[in-house]
Structure 1
């Protein structure tokens, strides 16, 4: 079914009211600098096969990542007696290891195969998780203390994220070459929908397995962890069906190959004003979000003492809302741009933490309020996650793109870790009010973080005030179409795009 949907995305693209482009050209051409060798053009058939494999790879990998991140791992560490600071460290480690992404981008551009580099990096990052399984057995037989297993888990998290940080920018650059620019919103909407559907089905089952495992939740986590590593290995197998890309062909311009030093390439982003504005937004947004984001599950599991199966059920409701909205946001982003969506939906995301200030264990909260909060979060974050990645691809030049991607991850990684530390400090100081104060502070800072995004320029992006004039009527028409049984997204009224003469990013010049 998903393969047919991908074919429809590639062959039967819906009308694009802002700027028409021949469909075959959109599918078969990758916009490269004029000095780059034309050998990189990928045939349409290979693009289709690659996108199908990329979607399947994401579905298998998400089972693994849902186990080693989120409520399941937090519950595992809490069962071992981990403190609030250690739970915060669990979330900050991936942020800090993003500092290594520029190094990974530099190494990835030195090799001749995106595929084999990703295979080596991600294979090395996933297998060490199997060490936790004998650790659980040693704790169960009282041969080691639970505290030692907590330290082992944190060490594995450090090693795993260290390795993955070396491969993320290269993998993202690989996808940026394979996915046609004009179809990114729809394709990544579909891929994220498959990933979200996997989470929607898998996470509650995994949480129930851990909760009801005959030997206890620790052994249950060990069992699902083994299953997750198996799925992670299968995801690497599907990468063999993804067309390989030689990054050196992308950067094969004489000026870069023969004269530019590696350090000049790494710091070339400092001359790109539009990218710097996007980077400033990303840094502030990451700080504001991470003040509260890592602590929502902790609040449910620790402060309210809810069962892990209930928390994973809430997360699945959010995943379901995410799934239902992804394709809508993806098609809308292709028509009106990513930036206006990020601003308008970002306001809702910013205000969401305030809704957690009124919470408790009464039935109205357990069966109505918390499910609604997760549904709202899933629907709105679907737009933010999808559009953030697409906007980052849009504001970066193709040449040295992996370096730009790495910087765009490293800087928010630093500020995100700072946000986690600040949120953890506020949460542990009772004079500040604990976690509710962290939630309120996060909401205020999220609103402020949206201001730099207003000054980021995106090709084919409409102005926010123009968007709001047509978005609400369009949503009403779409809701009526869904009620009438018509699920296709109708084109938005023609909106004048930002003029060509406006300040553009270096990606437009490429």
Structure 2
């Protein structure tokens, strides 16, 4: 395995690298699916973690992104991005074996080892991620970024779905707190470690173009100066900070909310997560095509509010004592958020890469990662600290409808985690406002995009019968793209005419 960069990368080698980039997602997502998210939180609860411990654990993938600061200098001075990415991946993912061993112990020490190992894993992931992102920016063809990452994300969603269903089945057949469940968690982390090593091997086979010659030794301030001097990129960072804080203030506690406040088993959380991954997979082609044809910002202005609406609506699950209704409500919201987050993840990654100048992407991508780290890392810690405060507070509103036939009362009771969902919604609305200030070439009016998405949904529903209906539900109609392009060109022509009139006056 050659880990050195290549002075020249042929078109055939580039295409092979893009194919490997997509295949690698299957194994890296397998590692993530079995060792993070719901499973990581459930594992921590199995070890006896408190709400604050859960918050600190959830912040690890984000706070460790602060290591992108020294990582920028490491990448710029070593100029061997593939070597950094592969070695950091192998060493970091070996921590999963240590975390697997804690499943058979109890007390504070196993929790501490579990937490430290997670921070080491995420820290080395941040180092490798800085090199990886700048490397892929120079490897992937710019005109195909949306399609390439849509295919990659499709693999991620498919593998995560399969792994989530398997994990849910395993946890369903193991009792809470039993030795069998300890063995199940340990097995998941060992399998995740093996999958991670395979991922590192595939990455080592991908070609790395040499970085442009270094004209002078760049200082740390010089490297970070460029992205922060770019006013449009600063606006993107404003959106990133507020969005990440909104999302990570509430979502890390979904598992705690469903298990502790609603009283369901963790296996239900895994099934809901699998359903979310399914709609994520189904929506990827739609969002990926729109992001390539129009703009990533246009996609974000539709998908981000939908995701925030799903978070806020989670508070509705605590308003009913009917378990069947609550499960149906949670399932509907997870399906909605799965489809919405597909657009958010794809478009936010692409817009950060698109606004990064080719050959200088390291500092731009790292600056975006730092903004994400600070906001997303602090949010769950703040949430964990405030958990006890909100646990002892409750807000009750009584809505009464009176008519000649009698009165109907609609009680609304907000407690504990419900407050988190409402706060996250308010911050999320501010994040969407910050996004409107970002300029991206090719963006169209949000109302036009929404109307086209609704039109596509209506067509899919009308035709959702028989073989032709199933095909229409899974394919993006060419009319959608054609009509939206006409609308965009018409808006641009009107803008040019108005500018010409202004100049004549």
- For the 8 Å contact 2:300–2:348, the answer to whether it is kept is yes
Please list every run of 5 or more consecutive structure 1 residues that lacks an aligned counterpart in the other structure: 1-38, 140-144, 503-510
Larger radius of gyration: 2
TM-score (normalised: structure 2)? 0.84
2:442 to 451, 460, 470: 460
Structure 1 residue aligned with 2:191? 227
* Change over 3 Å in CA distance of 1:300–1:406 after alignment to 2: same
Structure 2 residue aligned with 1:216? 180
- For the 8 Å contact 2:299–2:343, the answer to whether it is kept is yes
- Correspondence 1:173 to 2:163: no
- For the 8 Å contact 2:393–2:416, the answer to whether it is kept is yes
Inter-partner Cα distance in structure 1 for 2:102 and 2:384 = 28
Deviation by residue 1:90-133 (Cα, 9 ceiling, x = unmatched): 11122211111122122122224322111111111100221133
Question: Post-superposition shift, 1:310?
Answer: 1.6
Structure 2 residue aligned with 1:13? none
Structure 2 residue aligned with 1:89? 56
Structure 1 residue aligned with 2:317? 359
Q: Secondary structure of the residue that 1:459 maps to in structure 2?
A: coil
- For the 8 Å contact 1:115–1:245, the answer to whether it is kept is no
Structure 2 residue aligned with 1:447? 429
- For the 8 Å contact 2:102–2:114, the answer to whether it is kept is no
* Change over 3 Å in CA distance of 1:208–1:473 after alignment to 2: closer
Does 351-360 or 420-429 show the bigger shift? 420-429
- Correspondence 1:417 to 2:417: no
Structure 2 residue aligned with 1:31? none
TM-score (normalised: structure 1)? 0.83
- Correspondence 1:111 to 2:69: no
Structure 2 residue aligned with 1:68? 35
Structure 2 residue aligned with 1:435? 417
Inter-partner Cα distance in structure 2 for 1:229 and 1:484 = 38
- Correspondence 1:399 to 2:359: yes
**CA RMSD for the aligned pairs?**
2.4
Structure 1 residue aligned with 2:19? 52
Structure 2 residue aligned with 1:342? 300
Question: Post-superposition shift, 1:336?
Answer: 1.2
Please list every run of 5 or more consecutive structure 2 residues that lacks an aligned counterpart in the other structure: 1-5, 395-414, 497-505
- Correspondence 1:237 to 2:201: yes
- For the 8 Å contact 2:291–2:347, the answer to whether it is kept is yes
Question: Post-superposition shift, 1:66?
Answer: 1.6
Question: Post-superposition shift, 1:342?
Answer: 0.5
Structure 2 residue aligned with 1:485? 471
Question: Post-superposition shift, 1:61?
Answer: 1.3
Inter-partner Cα distance in structure 2 for 1:423 and 1:135 = 26
Inter-partner Cα distance in structure 2 for 1:463 and 1:46 = 39
Question: Post-superposition shift, 1:82?
Answer: 0.8
Does 119-128 or 381-390 show the bigger shift? 119-128
Inter-partner Cα distance in structure 2 for 1:322 and 1:103 = 34
Does 358-367 or 308-317 show the bigger shift? 358-367
Question: Post-superposition shift, 1:469?
Answer: 5.0
Q: How many residues align?
A: 452
Inter-partner Cα distance in structure 1 for 2:475 and 2:331 = 28
- For the 8 Å contact 1:72–1:207, the answer to whether it is kept is no
* Change over 3 Å in CA distance of 1:105–1:309 after alignment to 2: same
- For the 8 Å contact 1:49–1:241, the answer to whether it is kept is no
- Mapping of residues 138-149 of structure 1, within 5 Å: 139=105, 145-149=106-110
